[in-house]
Each structure stands twice: as structure tokens, then as C-alpha cells.
């Protein structure tokens, strides 16, 4: 069937709205009519950095829509269901069972290479393959193919134009707080970079005694303050100035926990230096391949720097959990979203990069 998709034709090229052909679903697949798709910084980063041989490509990994067709082997999902799509995992390997689906042995094959496991593509254009299957969905398309392991059925009373970011950005930030760090009322948490992921972390951490937000954009810091965080405007501050300010806000001790969403090496170093003795820093963002650390500080003070994939979340559990928290008022992220018609995708990218909006969502 023919559908409309946001195609990237080469590294760094603008997104292009084009007609493509969607392949027929396989027995274990699901076809979804997209209603809305969150725009994540990862989509832009990969558009700009993947090698030329990995294009043309359809990205997008925060899809929400309505099930139109299910394969013969699919259970638990029916035509007409409203769903949110997240990342894929095999749910059969030792890592999935022991470490969680974010650490699946087949992560690269299932989420990043652009093909099904058998080497076929879900989309084509003029008879030529278009690489897709990004996060097992490539939801920068009006119709997409997903799978039982990466789709979550949600209440049909909910507004699908607000739900896509729960598939990645919101669950990454919130999951890092709720699953990984688990700070309590006697702890302090410093979040470096308060875009959608950082703000979702703050929204999930309202029980924490001291919340601190570090950024260079006053408008983002103003939003962070609504979640109870004290703003640290890093503009014009040397690294030591940021660290000193965080220690001042924590009674000279440093933050019990830190989260970096920037992926910037020097910022990660600051975040580690700003930790208290035996503090823990979670690094979330794609960015620097290497980053510096103060080795003496890390060793002598028993600090931990760790990564986390999607906040160690299982979408089948975390998305319903966050939606329940949102319904109760305990996870208030709806105001972070700004919607755009799909035709304005490049404007949405520009606005996000400029910091004019927190979380753009494209409406089909």
C-alpha cells in the first residue's frame, strides 16, 4: 500500500515528505495508522551523522496510532486498538531475561540497521528499498509496521497526539529516576540538560528533597522551576562555578545523584565532580564517544558513572505506569509538548534545536 513518509535522502539533508510503498505485513507484524509521532534529538543526530550508504531512510521512534491490521501470529493486539510504539527487543535472550529488554543481545539488528531480520525493508520507493525499521517502527510515516514486543495498547480515551514521547523520551527520563537511581526525600538530584528527557526526569522526581536543573537556556530552566527545581544557569560559568553552585545548594556535600542528558564530555565531567561522596551519575545521551573524568575524585570519593538504555525500562510495564502517574497528576508532562502538522517537520526541528520548544510532536 502507498503511504506518506518523512524521508531523509542523505546525511544532513532536510526531511522530505514523500510517497512510499509500505510492504505487506508478515505473520508476526502489526500495521498501524499513525496519529502522531514525537520528534527526538536522536532522529536529528542520526540524520546528520549516519554514513551515506545508510540512506534513504525513514526515522522516527515515538509513534502513536491505531491498529489497522494484525498478522496471523499476533496475540494481545487487535484491529482498532490504540497503541504507543517503543524500542524492540527479542524477549528471548539471556540479557532480556536477566538485564531487561534495553540490553537485548539483538538490539542493533532489531532497532538500528534499517532492515527486518531477514534483510528485507518495510518501505520502498520507485521499486528501490528505503531503509527503515528504526526502533522497530520508523514512525516518521503515516502507516507503519510494528511488532507485539514493541507496541503497548493504551486506553482509547487518551489523546494519541500526546502519547508518542512516552515511547522514548519520557520513559528514558522518568525511568532513570524510578528504575535506576531511585532517589528519596533525603536525597538531592542534579539534572544537566533540561530538554524533554531531563524535564521528564524532574517530573518523576517530585519526591526528592532537593532538585537542581543545569542548562544554558533560561526558558528551559523556567520550566524546570515549575517542577520544584532550583535553576543553575551555566551561561558564563566555568566548570568549577557550576560545581561550586551545586555544592552550595546541597549544604556543601554535592548531589546524591546526577543525570546527564547532554552527551557533552565536559558537562559529564562537571556532573561527576558535582556529586557527593558515593554519589551516582547516570549518562543518557548519545554524543561524545569519549569524555574526561577526574580520576582521583572518582576513586577517592567512591563515585559511580553509569549508562542506562531507556531508563532501564520495559515499555510494556513503564508506559502504563507513567500513564497512570500522569492521570493522577504525579507525572505532569503534557505541557512540554508542542504539536506541528507533519508538513512542518523541518520547522519543528529548527524550533527544537533553537530551544523554542521542548518536545515537538508531528501530527499526521
In DSSP notation, 293-312 reads --HHHHHHTT-EEEE-SGGG
Find the angle CA(143)-CA(56)-CA(196) to the nearest 5 degrees: 65
pTM value is: 0.96
Residues of the chain with CATH 3.40.50.720: 171-310
- Lowest-confidence region among 158-162, 234-238, 308-312: 234-238
Q: Is the dihedral of CA 101, 104, 108, 110 positive or negative?
A: negative
Considering the domain delimited by 2-167+333-363, tell me its CATH architecture.
Answer: Alpha-Beta Complex (3.90)
Is pLDDT at 289 greater than 90 in this prediction?
Answer: no
Residue 36 phi, psi dihedral angles, 5° rounding: -155, 155
Mean pLDDT along residues 281-285:
95
pLDDT at 290: 87
Mean pLDDT along residues 5-31:
97
pLDDT at 340: 98
pLDDT at 265: 93
Chosen CATH of 171-310 out of 3.40.30.10, 2.30.29.30, 3.40.710.10, 3.40.50.720: 3.40.50.720
- Lowest-confidence region among 39-48, 133-142, 234-243: 234-243
pLDDT at 165: 98
Q: What pLDDT band is residue 240 in, cutting at 50, 70 and 90?
A: confident
Residues of the chain with CATH 3.90.180.10: 2-167+333-363
> Considering the chain, what is the average pLDDT of its residues?
96
Q: Where are the alpha helices (DSSP H) in the chain?
A: 41-49, 94-98, 107-111, 169-175, 196-203, 218-226, 239-249, 265-273, 295-300, 315-328, 345-354
Q: What whole-number distance in Å separates Cα of residue 301 and Cα of residue 295? A: 10
Mean pLDDT along residues 134-156:
98
Could you tell me if 58 and 141 are in contact, meaning their C-beta atoms sit under 8 angstroms apart? yes
Is pLDDT at 157 greater than 80 in this prediction?
Answer: yes
Is pLDDT at 237 greater than 90 in this prediction?
Answer: no
pLDDT at 109: 96
Amino acid at each position: 500500500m502507498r503511504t506518506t513518509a518523512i524521508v531523509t535522502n542523505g546525511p544532513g539533508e532536510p526531511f522530505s515528505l514523500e510517497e512510499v510503498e509500505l510492504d505487506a505485513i508478515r505473520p508476526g507484524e502489526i500495521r498501524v495508522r499513525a496519529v502522531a509521532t514525537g520528534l527526538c534529538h536522536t532522529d536529528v543526530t542520526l540524520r546528520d551523522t549516519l554514513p551515506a550508504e545508510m540512506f534513504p531512510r525513514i526515522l522516527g521512534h515515538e509513534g502513536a496510532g491505531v491498529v489497522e491490521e494484525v498478522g496471523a501470529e499476533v496475540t494481545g493486539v487487535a484491529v482498532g486498538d490504540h497503541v504507543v510504539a517503543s524500542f524492540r527487543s527479542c524477549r528471548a535472550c539471556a540479557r532480556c531475561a536477566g538485564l531487561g529488554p534495553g540490553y537485548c543481545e539483538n538490539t542493533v539488528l532489531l532497532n538500528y540497521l534499517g532492515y527486518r531480520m531477514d534483510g528485507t525493508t518495510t518501505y520502498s520507493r520507485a521499486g528501490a528499498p528505503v531503509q527503515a525499521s528504526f526502533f522497530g517502527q520508523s514512525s516518521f510515516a503515516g502507516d507503519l509496521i510494528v511488532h507485539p514486543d514493541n507496541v503497548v495498547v493504551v486506553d482509547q480515551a487518551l489523546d494519541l497526539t500526546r502519547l508518542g514521547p512516552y515511547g522514548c523520551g519520557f520513559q528514558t527520563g522518568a525511568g532513570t529516576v524510578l528504575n535506576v537511581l531511585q532517589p528519596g526525600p533525603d536525597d538531592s538530584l542534579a539534572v544537566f540538560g533540561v530538554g524533554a528527557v531531563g524535564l521528564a526526569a524532574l517530573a518523576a522526581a517530585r519526591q526528592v528533597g532537593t532538585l537542581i536543573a543545569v542548562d544554558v537556556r533560561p526558558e528551559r530552566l523556567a520550566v524546570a522551576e515549575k517542577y520544584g527545581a532550583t535553576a543553575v544557569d551555566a551561561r558564563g560559568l566555568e566548570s568549577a562555578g557550576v560545581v561550586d553552585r551545586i555544592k552550595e545548594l546541597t549544604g556543601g556535600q554535592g548531589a546524591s545523584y546526577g543525570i546527564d542528558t547532554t552527551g557533552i564530555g565536559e558537562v559529564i565531567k562537571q556532573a561527576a565532580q558535582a556529586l557527593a561522596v558515593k554519589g551516582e551519575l547516570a549518562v543518557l545521551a548519545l554524543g561524545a564517544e569519549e569524555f574526561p573524568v577526574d580520576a582521583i575524585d572518582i576513586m577517592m570519593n567512591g563515585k559511580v558513572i553509569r549508562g542506562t538504555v531507556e531508563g532501564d525500562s520495559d515499555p510494556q510495564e513503564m508506559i502504563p505506569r507513567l500513564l497512570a502517574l500522569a492521570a493522577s497528576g504525579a507525572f505532569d508532562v503534557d505541557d512540554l509538548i508542542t504539536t506541528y502538522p507533519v508538513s512542518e517537520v523541518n520547522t519543528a526541528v529548527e524550533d527544537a534545536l533553537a530551544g523554542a520548544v521542548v518536545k515537538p510532536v508531528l501530527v499526521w
